[in-house]
Structure 1
Amino acid sequence: MGLRDTAIALHFEIQTVMSDKTRFTAKCASEGCPWFIHAAKLPGVPTFTIRTIHNEHTCGGIAHLDHQQASVQWVANSVEQHLWENPQCKPKEILKEIHRVHGITLSYKQAWRGKERIMATLRGSFEEEFCLLPQCCEQIRQINPGSLASVHVNVVDNSFQRLFISFQASICGFLNVCHPLIGLDRTVVPSSFDGDGALFPIAFWCC
């Protein structure tokens, strides 16, 4: 990671020559440039030490704005603090920030994927959130007896299909004080009208 940051900061790209559990060798990606580095793992610890390095470039660095070392993970690490402070930051803003700080231009897709990787650590992935729905429904039924809460999935691939929740208070209110009419009207909150003619929410559903 340190070598990648150095390459980006100094505007040169590296090409891996050899990489395994005990050795790592890389050179400058520009043809004919003598820069290279060789590192080896120290015995008994998860640490590499530099054994050989030719630290001079004759290539003058890269001329294009993009950088092959700017991976999605690097983008995520670069904007992590910014996203913690401003989760609503758009990928276009991330591109501008990276260009301002590092002087490189990335694709919109890289910025979007980098943001998604960080946001997954902040809020959890969508897959993780959907996996919690059955437990959420069970807790609603236990804590609020008489409530209806269920989640339905596709039996083929276990993907989410729909969620339905109706709290016990809403059910009782509809049965006792509302007109015998339920309005849907393409809304996720089916409702009726109470004795004063005001909207009375009955349930919540999404699909």
Structure 2
Amino acid sequence: MGKTRSKVWRPNAISMDLNALLEVNVDYKQAWRVKQYAMELLLGSSEEFFSKLPIYFHNLKRHNPGTVAYIQTDSEDYFECCFYAIRSTIRAFKSFCRKVIIMDGAHLMGDFKGTILHAVAMDGNNQILPLAHGIC
């Protein structure tokens, strides 16, 4: 296999390895599509992930009473946004953290565009406590 320092098998390395091992010429685009297909087989598709969110949130609330979890869908039951905060982090914020919430977000770059948001706080030891997470 290609000697890369990264744990990610990049399309260029896939192409070189297939050429070295099987003497098959594969261009970058083909290697990229094969990698995407393999990742979908391993991890499932984005559609599958979003369809499992209601079950995940139900179990999260069932096993962590006091947890806040919310999913919003449109009229055709398609995902629009979600939010969750686990009870233990809510209690920790109320008891031990400075009353300042720091928000951060990042754009999602996959099949589904959107923004993932995180709310964090700092405790008395200057440690970061993740409070809540959301996808819009």
Q: Percent identity?
A: 29
1:43-91: CA deviations, max 9, x gaps? xxxxxxxxxxxxxxxxxxxxxxxxxxxxxxxxxxxxxxxxxxxx83111
Aligned partner (choices 16, 32, 35) of residue 115 of structure 1: 35
| 1:164 has 2:83 as partner | yes
Residues 118 and 139 of structure 1: CA distance in aligned 2, closer, same or farther (over 3 Å) = same
| Higher relative strand content | 2
Runs of 4+ in 1 over 6 A off after TM superposition: none
SS of match in other structure, 2:100: coil
SS of structure 2 residue aligned to 1:105:
coil
Aligned residues: 120
| Letter of the structure 2 residue corresponding to residue 99 of structure 1 | N
Letter paired with 1:135? I
Which residue in the other structure is 1:200 paired with?
129
TM superposition shift of 1:191: 2.0
Partner of 1:189: 118
Tell me: CA distance 1:120–1:196, structure 2 relative to 1, closer, same or farther (3 Å).
closer
CA distance in 2, matches of 1:186, 1:125: 23
Identify which of structures 1 and 2 has the higher relative contact order when contacts are C-alpha pairs closer than 8 Å and 6+ apart: 2
Q: TM-score, normalised by structure 1?
A: 0.49
How far is 1:195 from its partner? 4.2
Q: Deviations over 1:117-174 (max 9, x none)?
A: 222222222221221111101110111010011233454682x443322111111222
TM-aligned CA distance change 1:198 to 1:114, over 3 Å:
closer
Residue of structure 2 equivalent to 1:60: none
Structure 1, gaps ≥5 residues long: 1-86
1:21-170 aligned at under 5 Å gives the runs: 88-155=8-75, 158=78, 160-170=79-89
What secondary structure is seen at the aligned counterpart in 2 of 1:100? Answer: helix
TM superposition score normalised by structure 2: 0.69
Could you tell me which runs of 5 or more consecutive residues in structure 2 were left unpaired when the two chains were aligned: 1-6, 107-116
* Greater Cα radius of gyration, structure 1 or 2: 1
Q: Residues 145 and 93 from structure 1, CA distance in 2 versus in 1: closer, same or farther, beyond 3 angstroms?
A: same
